[in-house]
Copies of this chain bind each other. A is one copy, B any other.
Amino acid sequence: MEYNGVTIDETYAEAFPTWVSRVIITAVTEEWAYKAAVEATGFATSAIGCPCEAGVEGFVPAEETPDGRPGYAILICAGKKKLKEQVVERLAECVLTAPTTAVFDGLPEAEERIPVKLHFFGDGYEYKKEVGGRQCWAIPIMNGEYVGEEDFGIVKGVAGGNFFIMGENQMAALMAAQAAVDAIASVCGVITSFPGGIVASGSKVGSNKYKFMSASTNEKYCPTLREQVEDSLVPEGVKAIYEIVIDGVDEESVKEAMSAGVKAATRVPGVVFISAGNFGGNLGPFKIELKDLF
C-alpha cells in the first residue's frame, strides 16, 4: 500500500514482553525536572549492552502531579529483577541527587509492586510525609528535603515495537526519523530509548563471522552493501535507513506510537519506503502489522 505517496511494506514489527516502571519526577521548574529525567534515562538505549532501556515519556503538567509542581514521566524497562535494581540505582544516583526533585509512582493502579527504599540515605533523620495523598518519605539533604514515594507499580509491557524509515538520502531519512520521534512524543505510555529516539545501526541477532558477538550489523538493510549482499532488502534508490524502536506500557500504546510515527515520517520529502523489523514471527509474541496502523 501507499500512504502520502510512500510505499508501506507488507510486513509487521515483532515485539517482546518486558517489565516497565513509570516514574514521575517533579521539580521547582519544568527545566529542572527535565534535567533529572534525562540523566536518569541515559546509557539505556538497548538491553543488549545497557543495564536497561529507559527514556522520557513526556511532560506532566503541575495540575496532574501529586505535589502540584511540573514534572516528567520516565519509563524504565527490563526483566523483573534487573528492573528493581535499575529503578533503585537510577533514582538514587540521578534523581535524589538532582536539585529540588521529588518522585512519585506513575503506575499507581498496577498490582505488581516493587520497593524502592531510598529513605535509608537519610541515616535515621528521614520521616514519613503525605504529599497529595501519596505516602512518601522526606529525607533531609543539603539542598533542603528530598521527598519521594517508595512503592512503585510495574506492568508487563512491550519492548521492540519498531519501524524502518528509508530515504533517498541520509538527510531525508534523518529528518523523517526526527519528525516521527516528534509525533511519538505526544503519545502516552511509550518511549523511544535510543539517542534522540533514533537507531542508526539496527542489528541482527548474533554474527556470522564473529561468534562471540551477540548482535551485529544487519547487512541486508545496509544501503552501502546493497550490491554486495545477495539477499539485500534495501529497495532500489534507498541510501539510508533509520529504525525507530518503541517500548511501552502495553501493545495498544506501542501501536498508537507506531501509527503516529509512520504517518509523520511519510510527510517528509525524500522518504520512499517504510518497513518494519521481525524475526519471522517465532521469537516475539507481539506482531504489529504496518497495514493496521492506518
**Alpha-carbon separation in the docked complex, A39 to B40 (Å):** 10
Q: Is the CB of A209 within 8 A of B70?
A: no
Q: Which residue on B lies nearest to A164, using beta carbons?
A: B142
**A45 interfacial by beta-carbon distance below 8 Å:** yes
Which residue of the partner chain, among B29, B121, B122, B196, contacts A98 with CB atoms under 8 Å? B196
Q: Give the number of copies in the complex.
A: 4
**Alpha-carbon separation in the docked complex, A43 to B170 (Å):** 30
User: Which of A89-97, A105-113, A149-157 forms contacts with chain B?
Assistant: A89-97
**A250 interfacial by beta-carbon distance below 8 Å:** no
Knowing A43-B42, A93-B45, A242-B143, say if A123 contacts B216 (CB, 8 Å).
yes
**A44 interfacial by beta-carbon distance below 8 Å:** yes
User: Which of A7-15, A16-24, A171-179, A285-293 forms contacts with chain B?
Assistant: A171-179
Q: Is the CB of B121 within 8 A of A213?
A: yes
User: Nearest-CB distance from A216 to chain B (Å)?
Assistant: 4
Q: Is the CB of B125 within 8 A of A222?
A: yes
A243 contacts across to B, CB distance below 8 A: 142
Q: 9 closest A-B pairs (Cβ-Cβ)?
A: A42-B42, A98-B195, A141-B201, A124-B209, A143-B200, A123-B216, A35-B196, A39-B195, A169-B270
